[in-house]
A and B are shown apart, each in its own frame.
Chain A
Amino acid sequence: MNRRSRAGAALLSLAVVAGLAACSGATEEQAGAPVTLNYWLWDDNQKASYQQCADEFTKANPNITVKISQAAWNEYWQNLTTQIASGDAPDVWTNQGSYYPQFVSSGQILDIQPFVEADKVDLSQYQGGLADLFTKDGKRFGLPKDWDTMALVYNTEHLKAQGIDAAGLANLTWNPTDGGSFEQAIAKATVDEKGRNGLDPAFDKTKVKVFGFLPEWADGSQGQNGWGNLAASNGFTYLDKNPWGTQYKYDDPKLAQTIDWFKSLSAKGYAPALDKASTLSRDSLLNAGKGAITFAGSWMINSYLGDGAKLKFAFAPLPTGPQGRKTAINGLSDAIWAGTKHKDESWKWVKFLGSADCQNIVGGNGVVFPAIKSASEKALAAHTGKGRDVKVFVDEAAAPGGTFFVPITEHGNEISQLVQDAIQAAILGQTDSATSLKKANDQVNALFK
């Protein structure tokens, strides 16, 4: 062995030793060694609030720093899935109902039930039912962080000019046959080019200037932004059990009736027909004065009441249907990656995110409604402080029997496309609603075989 190769061998063995050391460092965590956790979320509006939480958290746990990364909703799930596939996922990430089941079934999310039991986390502090959305077979895959409900949003000045009483909007009724007082309000809010409203016998439905109602047709399998709420108030339930049901019921005539009612709005000229609808979002159309009323989720509060809005808007509760007033409620959670090297630290962070300490910070900034009830009150107070009336969202969430959870099952993405296409086909008149939904329902249920 000459000199050079000896030196090489020495270097090589050094590298091997260093590699071993790195390995052992990863497997047996020394307590107190500095740890950086990667945390992902998609909403840029919330990043600042969670950064505040992370700073507080590091103050209490000086050896743990949290690095927050934000990616827009459309890229978020692709990025996450690719990162998991390459074995380099964030330690903790934000989850949503239709996307997280695939991570559960592929064993990528850590079961935190043992941690929850050991640390005696009080699950009753959360908005009713939210904590259960992220459990399966006695395992728990996240702690709830926030929730959202639906309401009607309307152009205040337009409705006033059309002689629609704002107080009356709080008690609207709806049924699939004649649309109840909700349809009356929509008709009155619709104005043609000659200034006649939808109730005027001379109303010209081919030349509508302002549509009374703006429907959302790209609304997946849940109809959270429209048909889902009304169908539920008509007695429709999505599936046999939620979460983790395996038998969907999109063929329920109560859903078809609801879709038919939406279709009738377009036929009467009160809402844009799907083939003449705008590709732009409903809030841009409302802001442009092209529509008067639509559904809005509580995550849209700052878009409608914030400084960016060009017109004055206000929220009203959803109309009461044959089975009462029903709003979709949806929640997010924080999950730990099963492959993380820092399980204990990650749990500490998730516990902190799910605690009043963090959720009060988030609530105080008035961006979303945190999952903890008391923190939600803080969010409400923050909005009220800014002169924004958003009480309807909180009232609806608290009303007994007034909420339903959007479905959480396997194959969420495919179901979303299938049902959305079926509803659009029905609206476009390719087939009638019942046939279209029956076909989609068969395709959906075939996914579970």
Chain B
Amino acid sequence: MITTKPRDDRRAAWLFLLPVLVGFAVFYGYPAARGVWYSVTDYNMLNTATYVGAENYAKLLADEAFWNSMKVTAWYVVLNIGSQTLLALGIATLMHRLTRSVMLRATLLLPWLVPNVTIGLLWMWLLDTNLGFVNQLLHAVGLGPVGFFTDETWAMPTVAGINTWAYTGYTALLLYAGMLQIPQYLYEGASIDGAGEWRMFRGITLPLLRPVLALVLVVSLIGSFQIFDTIAVTTKGGPVSATQVIYYFIYLQAFKYFHLGYAAAAAVFLALILGVLTAIQMRLLRASRSDLA
């Protein structure tokens, strides 16, 4: 009797993975390792880095500006992810249940295709207090000018709104792709049983979309924490650090004050937080298991 052992493909697999691994090591692994090393040094670009132990981290934990930037970032993430996910879910459902026009899908992606700096400039002009179109409209209906970027209470919601505008289409497409995986017969059955659209959304779409929704949430949460360009273009962290998010804080420390070591420590800290947040989210949403199976 001849027994055939299943062929071991692992060696071949590694061979195929090699090109990616090299890229990963050179462009991610090595810089990340260097970043971690810089975070325990006093590197300022012009000196030779010397080891200072946990000094940067101790300073970071006591730094008011750092904690403010964490708080500001959290506020941004809540505003941005909240509005973006809700809107995207609504749009995806509409696309799924009403129309499957390719034109419409392409249009949704348009804002996402525009570079962020352009978007920042565009909205900066539209929302300007004195010259902006939006304030002219407000004025026409008798409302006072709103300093969208210069008023402390408005600055962050404005930035979050701009990014929601830019990314909702993309998120909606991802969710729409997820909805396409849900078997059509479930909807047919439900509608024969007399369920309305809202009922079907709650009873079929949402539960079966969960793994995709979880993935989209994790990805957009990480992306949302990395908000930088819109702020760099519009508010530059102001007014009085009301929009000084963590990435802008790191940027200021690294490339304005040249505290590379300190900035690296903040970056490592941010990576840790993101890791923990992702783990919690994956856990809570049981992202690896689908109810379809």
Chain A interface residues (CB < 8 Å from chain B): 78, 81-82, 84-85, 102-103, 106, 108, 206, 218, 272-280, 284-285, 288, 290, 413-414, 417, 421, 424-425, 428, 430
Enumerate B244-262 residues with CB–CB distance to A below 8 Å. Answer: 252, 255-258
A275 touches B258 (CB 8 A): no
Given A81-B258, A421-B241, A277:B131 Cβ within 8 A? no
B46 touches A85 (CB 8 A): yes
Nearest chain B residue, comparing its CB with the CB of A280? B128
A284 touches B131 (CB 8 A): yes
Q: How far is the CA of A171 from the CA of B136 in the complex (A)?
A: 38
B130 touches A275 (CB 8 A): no
CB distance from B239 to the nearest CB of A (A): 6
Partner of A290, one of B130, B151, B234: B130
Partner of A275, one of B45, B128, B152, B241: B152
Most chain B beta-carbon contacts within 10 A, residue among A82, A84, A278: A278
A424 touches B252 (CB 8 A): no
Q: How far is the CA of A428 from the CA of B150 in the complex (A)?
A: 10
**Interface residue count on the B side (C-beta < 8 Å):** 30
Q: How far is the CA of A285 from the CA of B131 in the complex (A)?
A: 8
Contacts A/B (CB < 8 Å), 22 sampled: A84-B46, A85-B45, A85-B46, A102-B46, A103-B46, A108-B46, A274-B150, A275-B150, A276-B145, A276-B150, A277-B129, A279-B128, A279-B235, A280-B128, A280-B130, A280-B131, A413-B256, A413-B257, A417-B256, A421-B240, A428-B240, A430-B240
B149 touches A279 (CB 8 A): yes
Nearest chain A residue, comparing its CB with the CB of B124? A279
CB distance from B111 to the nearest CB of A (A): 21
Q: How far is the CA of A103 from the CA of B46 in the complex (A)?
A: 8
Enumerate B129-161 residues with CB–CB distance to A below 8 Å. Answer: 129-131, 144-147, 149-152
A280 partner residues in chain B, CB cutoff 8 A: 124-125, 128, 130-131
Q: How far is the CA of A272 from the CA of B131 in the complex (A)?
A: 13
CB distance from A151 to the nearest CB of B (A): 23
B131 touches A78 (CB 8 A): no
Nearest chain B residue, comparing its CB with the CB of A278? B130
Most chain B beta-carbon contacts within 10 A, residue among A272, A275, A285, A288: A275
A284 partner residues in chain B, CB cutoff 8 A: 131
A274 touches B129 (CB 8 A): no
Q: Does B35 contact A (CB under 8 A)?
A: no
B45 touches A428 (CB 8 A): no
A421 partner residues in chain B, CB cutoff 8 A: 238, 240-241
B255 touches A275 (CB 8 A): no
Q: Mark B203-242, 1 if CB is under 8 A from A, else 0.
A: 0000000000000000000000000000000111011110
Partner of A84, one of B45, B129, B257: B45
Partner of A102, one of B152, B252, B258: B258
Most chain A beta-carbon contacts within 10 A, residue among B124, B152, B234: B152
Partner of B46, one of A81, A218, A424: A81
Q: Does B101 contact A (CB under 8 A)?
A: no
Nearest chain A residue, comparing its CB with the CB of B64? A443
B239 touches A274 (CB 8 A): yes
Partner of A276, one of B46, B151, B257: B151
Q: Kindly list 4 other residue pairs between chains A and B, CB separation below 8 angstroms, not including A277-B150, A278-B128, A290-B131.
A: A278-B130, A279-B150, A421-B240, A424-B239
A272 partner residues in chain B, CB cutoff 8 A: 129-130
A278 partner residues in chain B, CB cutoff 8 A: 128-131, 150
Nearest chain B residue, comparing its CB with the CB of A417? B252
A425 partner residues in chain B, CB cutoff 8 A: 240
Most chain B beta-carbon contacts within 10 A, residue among A102, A274, A276: A276
CB distance from B251 to the nearest CB of A (A): 10
B129 partner residues in chain A, CB cutoff 8 A: 272, 276-279
Nearest chain B residue, comparing its CB with the CB of A430? B240
Q: How far is the CA of A291 from the CA of B257 in the complex (A)?
A: 34
A276 touches B147 (CB 8 A): yes
